[in-house]
Homo-oligomer: A and B are copies of this chain.
Amino acid sequence: MASAGLGALLVCTEPEVRYFTGFHTPFWQSPTRPWFVVVPSAGKPIAVIPSIGGPSMSSTWIDDVRTWSAPQPQDDGVSLLTECLREVAGPEGQIGLPMGPETHVRMPLNDLDLLRASVGGFVDATDIVRSLRMVKSEVEIEKHRIICGIVSDAFEALPSILSIGMTEREAFAAFRAEILKCGADDVPYLVGATGPGGIGDIIRQPSDRRIDRGDLLIFDTGSTHDGYFSDFDRNFAFGSAPRDAADAYAAVWEATEAGLGACRPGMTTTEVFTAMNRVLERNGSIGNDVGRMGHGLGMQVTEWPSHTASDDTVIEENMVLTLEPGLNWAPGKAMVHEENLVVRSSGPELLSRRAAATLPII
C-alpha cells in the first residue's frame, strides 16, 4: 500500500472481509446490508458494519468495530464509511478499492456513486489483494488439505453408493450426504450430469433422469472446511465404458500429468495451459467452452489466476491451484478432469487424491 501511495484500502465482499478480519458467517447470503472493512497502511483493519454483526466481528482480532443500525436506506453506512476512510487516509490520501478482474463492489450503485463523490474517488487496488490471496500460508494450505482429503474419501465411496436405476436427483443427494458424513462443513458447489455415452453441459443441476447402463457421470464439487474450498471432479461409467469416452478420459488424465509437470515456481499459468493443451490437441480436441484449464483456489471455489493462453501469471511457491483440462472430442461430448495442488519449491504437491488412470466403471 505504501509503495502504491495508498493511505487506505476499502474491501466489501465476503472473501475480502474474511481475509482481513476472520469474520466468517453465511449471513452474506442476505443482500440487505453492505459490510465494509478499511485497511490502513499501518495498524489493524477497521470494521464499518451493520450492528447485527457487531458481536461476531468483536470476537475476531479486530478492535475497532464501528456499527450502524441497518437496513437504513437513507444512509446505509455511507456517511460512517466516508468519515472512516477520510480519517484513515488523511484529507488528501488516496484510497484503494479492488476494481479489476474477479472483483465487484458489493453495495448499491447509487450508494457507491455517493461514496465516490464524497471521498473523491478510488484507485484500483486489485493487485494488492490478488497478490496477498494468491499465495497461501501453511495454515490455509492445511485447511485445503483437510477438505481435499474429505472429498477424495467421498468420491472413493461413490461406487458403493451409486447404481443404475437411480435418478440424478437421488445421486446428487447421496453424494452430498456422503461428503458431509466424511466431515465437510458444507457443500456450497455441486454440479454434475449423466448422459448416454457423453455429457455436453457439465455445470448442470440434477434432473429426474434415471441412470442407465452405458451412461457417463461427472460430479464436480466445491466443498469447504473452515471456509476453505476443494474444487475437483471425478468421472464414472455405468456397466461398461464406451471406447471413445475411455480414450477421452485417458487423454485428460495424461493432460493433467503434463500440467503437473509444468506447475513449478517460475513457470507461468500460460505455460501450464500450453502443456495441457498440447496433449488435448494431439487427442482430437475440437475446443471447449470453459475458457481456461484451471485456476486458483482458496476462500472462493475459484480465485486468480487462470490457466489460459494469455494469463501469463508467474507461479509462486505456496499457490494453491487446480488443473482442469477439458476435452471435447465430439459435439456435446466433453470430458473434464480436475485435481488440486499446492506449489512447492520442488514442484506440485497434490491435495486431491489422484484420479484413477482409466475410467472407473460402476
A291 & B99 in contact (Cβ 8 Å cutoff): no
A300 & B97 in contact (Cβ 8 Å cutoff): no
> Chain B: which residue is nearest A30 at the CB level?
B302
Does A73 have its Cβ within 8 Å of any Cβ on chain B? yes
> Chain B: which residue is nearest A73 at the CB level?
B101
**If the complex has contacts A177-B180, A191-B27, A300-B29, are A201 and B56 also in contact, measured as CB distance less than 8 A?**
yes
**If the complex has contacts A51-B289, A109-B97, are A56 and B204 also in contact, measured as CB distance less than 8 A?**
yes
Interchain CA distance A190-B301 in the complex, whole Å: 19
Interchain CA distance A303-B71 in the complex, whole Å: 12
Shortest CB–CB separation between residue A250 and chain B, in angstroms? 24
Does A79 have its Cβ within 8 Å of any Cβ on chain B? no
Q: Which of A101, A189, A200 has its CB near the most chain B CB atoms (within 10 A)?
A: A101
> Chain B: which residue is nearest A289 at the CB level?
B51
> Chain B: which residue is nearest A301 at the CB level?
B29
Tally of A interface residues using CB under 8 Å = 70
Does A345 have its Cβ within 8 Å of any Cβ on chain B? no
CB contact between A71 and one of B53, B106, B308 (< 8 Å): that residue: B308
Query: Which B residues are CB-close (under 8 A) to A290?
Result: 52
Shortest CB–CB separation between residue A61 and chain B, in angstroms? 16
Interfacial residues of chain A within 1-34, with CB under 8 A of chain B in the complex:
13, 24-27, 29-33
Interchain CA distance A31-B28 in the complex, whole Å: 15
Does A80 have its Cβ within 8 Å of any Cβ on chain B? no
A191 & B103 in contact (Cβ 8 Å cutoff): no
Query: Which B residues are CB-close (under 8 A) to A203?
Result: 25, 27, 52-53, 56
Interchain CA distance A25-B33 in the complex, whole Å: 24
Shortest CB–CB separation between residue A43 and chain B, in angstroms? 26
A26 & B108 in contact (Cβ 8 Å cutoff): no
CB contact between A59 and one of B70, B112, B201 (< 8 Å): that residue: B201
CB contact between A289 and one of B25, B69, B180, B292 (< 8 Å): that residue: B69
Interchain CA distance A100-B71 in the complex, whole Å: 12
Interfacial residues of chain A within 280-319, with CB under 8 A of chain B in the complex:
289-292, 295, 300-303, 306, 308
Query: Which B residues are CB-close (under 8 A) to A204?
Result: 25, 56
Add 9 more A-B contacts to A32-B295, A177-B180 (CB < 8 A).
A26-B190, A29-B300, A29-B302, A32-B306, A50-B291, A69-B289, A71-B292, A104-B105, A188-B188
